[in-house]
Structure 1
Amino acid sequence: MTETVAKPAYTRILLKLSGEALMGDDAFGINRDTIDRMVDEIIAVSAMGVELAIVIGGGNIFRGMAGGAAGMDRATADYMGMLATVMNSLALADAISRKNVPARVMSAISIDQVVEPYVRPKALQYLEEGKVVVFAAGTGNPFFTTDTAAALRGAEIGAQMVLKATKVDGVYTADPMKDPTATRYSRISFDEAMVKNLGIMDATAFALCRDQKLPIKVFSIVKPGALQRVVRGEDEGTLVYA
């Protein structure tokens, strides 16, 4: 008897990962077991026929340099953070490629000997070919977060949704770690989230998604199978809609 595989509800998505998600239980850096587990989830979604692009932060790398960055010029610190995202992107793409799924890293800042530059038509071509595309170096500009990069790249590639992967399984009425009575929103509008100041993404990213009517799904990347359930359209995490 042939097993029926559930079809995805989305065909092209942008996954936003925090650098801290790669740390596991480590103080900083990349935990190999953690990245391998995430890659298994990513590959499972790619195997469903979903075109998948990823934006990843650099906080796990930059955290190890935090002491030396104290008092540094903000623009300089942001450029260092961009380089940290390139390191994370290379590590993630390598882990994906080692499991026989093609992955490409495209950088918003020019490092031609390491990664290719971000060019929108080329990124779209890679996605249509079934490759996982990892967008590195944020927007290429200081003062903009990787949340904003995720919203921008998601809009540029025509993603149907931005998936924000966190350690919490959605958006709650209060901090669930501090308030045991907090309840999870299954879905919430952009306007309501703004009124309640829920802090789902930074203001620039949030406004861009709202203006482009690009929905956001907040879910837990540490919850086994959550990414697949989100892509299948199941009630996993919190949907933020226009």
Structure 2
Amino acid sequence: MYKRVLLKISGEALAAGRGFGIDAVFIHKVAEEIADAHALGCQIGIVVGGGNFFRGVAQQAIDMDRVAADHMGMLSTVINAIALQDAIEKRGIMCRVMSAIEMHQVAEPYIRRRAMRHLEKGRIVIFAAGTGNPFFSTDTAASLRAMEIKADILLKATSVDGIYSADPKKDPDATRFEQVTYNDIMRLGLGVMDTTAVSLCKDNNMPMMVFSMREQGNIVRVISGEKLGSLVTA
């Protein structure tokens, strides 16, 4: 269905409900799914969050300078990226971590043309350290990277099975949207992504699929064209 995708995985998802750190069993399940999707011939770029270690807007950063806190959050994404790279490479697939903050000992610097070349050669590319700038979330980094690598779609893997009118964990009457526009997300205040990321996708006609990664095989199903979760269009 899709030749090239950008997969956004939150840091919280890698904690698998533990709240902090990386769940070793879960990250290998994610790597296995990514390997299965790669076997279909799809070129895969990945952006990981860092919320399982530190978030610049979290409660523990409330007394910190926002720039310092955001830099700590970016470094957290690098930890997750290296862990995911290791799990993917254990399945015999070449994987590169490219960081927006230069750290040559652990990751390649992010260079757009080099990233696209890696994808063309069949390597999986994990984009770490967000955009490299404070005040921008990893959702915005995912939107930006999706457009830079000319992805067919942005896939946002979450803990819920789509976009709801309210938080389904708190409101049992929340209804799920099969399809929604970026304008609707902003108008209704749906907390899918931050406003910057939504505007970026809308202005550049980047479709997005929001789906649950709790169910084994969902990444492959989405890439194969199955209608899972919620589709967002411009």
1:161: which partner in 2? Answer: 153
Tell me whether 1:103 sits opposite 2:95 in the alignment. yes
Report the CA distance between 1:186 and its aligned residue. 1.0
Query: 1:162-189 CA deviation, whole Å, 9 max, x = no partner?
Result: 1111000001122222333322211111
Query: 1:98 & 1:127 partners in 2: Cα distance?
Result: 19
Tell me whether 1:231 sits opposite 2:212 in the alignment. no
Query: 1:182-204 CA deviation, whole Å, 9 max, x = no partner?
Result: 22211111122221111211000
The one-letter code matched in structure 1 to 2:43 is E
2:64: which partner in 1? Answer: 72
1:30: which partner in 2? Answer: 22
- The DSSP-based 3-state class of the residue aligned with 2:6 is strand
* Residue range with higher mean Cα deviation, 154-163 or 184-193: 184-193
Tell me whether 1:51 sits opposite 2:43 in the alignment. yes
The one-letter code matched in structure 2 to 1:62 is F
Tell me whether 1:143 sits opposite 2:138 in the alignment. no
Query: 1:46 & 1:55 partners in 2: Cα distance?
Result: 16
Query: 1:236 & 1:73 partners in 2: Cα distance?
Result: 40
1:94: which partner in 2? Answer: 86
Query: 2:134 & 2:191 partners in 1: Cα distance?
Result: 21
- Structure 2: give runs of 5+ residues left out of the alignment: none
Query: 2:172 & 2:54 partners in 1: Cα distance?
Result: 32
Report the CA distance between 1:218 and its aligned residue. 0.4
2:211: which partner in 1? Answer: 219
Report the CA distance between 1:232 and its aligned residue. 1.5
Amino-acid identity (%) = 53
Query: 1:187 & 1:96 partners in 2: Cα distance?
Result: 32
- The DSSP-based 3-state class of the residue aligned with 2:46 is strand
Query: 1:92 & 1:72 partners in 2: Cα distance?
Result: 29
1:5: which partner in 2? Answer: none
Q: Normalised by the size of structure 2, how large is the TM-score?
A: 0.95
Q: Count matched residues.
A: 232
The one-letter code matched in structure 1 to 2:89 is S
Q: Which consecutive segments of 4 or more residues in structure 1 shift more than 6 A? A: none
Distance 1:67 1:166, change over 3 A: closer
Query: 1:88 & 1:201 partners in 2: Cα distance?
Result: 20
Q: Normalised by the size of structure 1, how large is the TM-score?
A: 0.92
The one-letter code matched in structure 1 to 2:38 is S
Query: 1:37-70 CA deviation, whole Å, 9 max, x = no partner?
Result: 111111111110000000001111117xx78644
- The DSSP-based 3-state class of the residue aligned with 2:53 is helix
